[in-house]
Amino acid sequence: MKVYFFHLMPYADLDLSQVDKHGGAWVTLPNTNFDSGKGRALYERYIGELELADQLGFDGVCVNEHHQTAYGLMPAPNLIAAGLARTTKQAKICVLGRALPLVNNPMMIAEEFAMLDHLSNGRLIAGFVRGIGTEYFSNSVNPTFSHERFQEAHDLILRAWTEPGPFSFRGKHYQFDYVNLWPRPVQTPRPPVWIPSQGSAETVLWAAAKERRYTYLQTFSPFPQALKAFRGYRDAALAEGYEAEPSQMGWAVPTYVAETDEQARRELAPHIEAFFNKFIKFPSLEMRLPPGYSSIASTKALMVAKFQARANATIDKLIEQGIIVCGSPKTVYERIAYCQREMGFGHLMAMLQIGSQPAEMTNRSMRLFADEVMPRLKAHDDADSRARVASVP
- Please give the residue ranges that form the binding site for other proteins (CB under 8 A): 136-137, 140-145, 148, 283-287, 290-292, 296, 299-300
Q: For residues 200 and 284, which CB has a smaller minimum distance to other proteins in the complex? A: 284
Cα–Cα distance between 306 and 304 in angstroms, integer? 7
Q: For residues 136 and 276, which CB has a smaller minimum distance to other proteins in the complex? A: 136
Would you call 390 exposed, middle or buried from its count of C-beta atoms within 10 A (0-12, 13-18, 19+)?
Answer: exposed
Q: For residues 1 and 302, which CB has a smaller minimum distance to other proteins in the complex? A: 302
| Shortest separation between residue 283's beta carbon and other proteins, angstroms | 7
| Shortest separation between residue 284's beta carbon and other proteins, angstroms | 6
| Shortest separation between residue 349's beta carbon and other proteins, angstroms | 31
| Residue 198, Ramachandran bin (φ over 0: left; ψ between -120 and 50: alpha; else beta) | alpha
Q: Provide the CB-side half-sphere exposure for 95 (13 A, CA).
A: 31
Q: For residues 43 and 145, which CB has a smaller minimum distance to other proteins in the complex? A: 145
Cα–Cα distance between 76 and 98 in angstroms, integer? 8
**Rounded to 10 degrees, what is the CA torsion of 213, 66, 297, 345?**
30
| Shortest separation between residue 141's beta carbon and other proteins, angstroms | 7
Full 3-state SS string of 61-103: EEECCCCCECCCCCCCHHHHHHHHHHHCCCCEEEEEEEEHHHC
| Shortest separation between residue 68's beta carbon and other proteins, angstroms | 13
Q: For residues 38 and 300, which CB has a smaller minimum distance to other proteins in the complex? A: 300
Q: For residues 286 and 371, which CB has a smaller minimum distance to other proteins in the complex? A: 286
| Shortest separation between residue 210's beta carbon and other proteins, angstroms | 26
| Shortest separation between residue 140's beta carbon and other proteins, angstroms | 5
- Answer whether the bond into residue 60 is a cis peptide, omega within 30°: no
Q: For residues 296 and 383, which CB has a smaller minimum distance to other proteins in the complex? A: 296
Angle subtended at Cα 370 by Cα 368 and Cα 376, rounded to the nearest 5 degrees: 105
Residue 212 is classified by DSSP as T
